[in-house]
């Protein structure tokens, strides 16, 4: 029997929104971030991300700059508030049910996201997903530097990180019957690497590819 692997993107897939964008809006709303500094650039990066044209390093470092200069402990109360107020209300019942369905079938379920690990681990816990592959924020002397470590978990980096994650566990992707779920053209490499691609709440570019290739289309609302 072949083991099964379910790979879930997070933002606009299981979550009806983008974690990074919501985090910035949340902090601007509290006055922690200066709206005059962050709003216009954030909107530009979000637009280019949706188009699949933003530079991966620029994307990661912009959003991680929101954490820069403070420790995880400093951010923890706001991270918990963010989860309660901004994330949980945007996770539909259908997302939770789909994750549970794979788990009940005995599948290995992995959340793989371009958003940084600090923001996404609480979301993964709420979803009941233990295994997370995410962009790794850099800590220097216990303080967020605003940079990253390792391969960015974005576009082809998601495939690279997945192979490395499985190798650490003595496994290979070819040993699994794998299914990948995503909304974004940025995740085309991941969808192509899996045995089964499912597009969820998909953007226009990915929808067109899904139609051409006969991929399954799903809406989680």
Enzyme catalytic residues? 9, 11
Give the whole-angstrom CA distance, residue 157 versus residue 114.
9
Give the whole-angstrom CA distance, residue 94 versus residue 91.
8
Give the whole-angstrom CA distance, residue 133 versus residue 214.
28
Q: Which two tokens stand for residue 67?
A: 């954490």
- Whether the CA torsion 19, 24, 26, 32 is positive or negative: it is positive
Give the whole-angstrom CA distance, residue 199 versus residue 182.
5
Give the whole-angstrom CA distance, residue 90 versus residue 67.
23
Neighbours of 130 (CB within 10 A): 12
Give the whole-angstrom CA distance, residue 99 versus residue 174.
22
Exposure of 210 by Cβ count < 10 A (0-12 exposed, 13-18 middle, 19+ buried)? middle
The backbone torsions φ and ψ at residue 81, rounded to the nearest 5 degrees and listed phi first, read: -65, -40
Q: Which two tokens stand for residue 30?
A: 């509290």
């Amino acid at each position: 029997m072949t083991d099964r692997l379910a790979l879930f993107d997070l933002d606009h897939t299981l979550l009806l929104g983008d974690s990074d964008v919501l985090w910035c809006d949340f902090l601007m709303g509290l006055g922690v971030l200066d709206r005059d500094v962050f709003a216009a650039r954030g909107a530009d990066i979000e637009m280019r991300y949706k188009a699949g044209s933003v530079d991966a390093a620029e994307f990661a470092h912009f959003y991680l700059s929101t954490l820069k200069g403070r420790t995880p402990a400093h951010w923890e109360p706001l991270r918990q508030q963010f989860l309660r107020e901004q994330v949980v209300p945007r996770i539909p019942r259908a997302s939770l049910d789909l994750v549970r369905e794979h788990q009940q079938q005995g599948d290995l379920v992995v959340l793989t996201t371009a958003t940084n690990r600090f923001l996404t681990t609480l979301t993964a816990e709420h979803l009941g997903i233990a295994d997370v592959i995410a962009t790794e924020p850099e800590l220097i002397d216990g303080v967020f530097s605003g940079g990253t470590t390792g391969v960015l978990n974005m576009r082809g980096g998601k495939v690279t990180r997945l192979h490395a994650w499985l190798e650490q566990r003595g496994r290979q992707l070819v040993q699994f019957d794998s299914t990948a779920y995503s909304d974004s053209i940025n995740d085309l490499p991941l969808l192509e690497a899996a045995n089964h691609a499912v597009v969820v709440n998909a953007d226009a570019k990915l929808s067109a590819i899904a139609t051409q290739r006969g991929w399954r289309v799903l809406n989680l609302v």
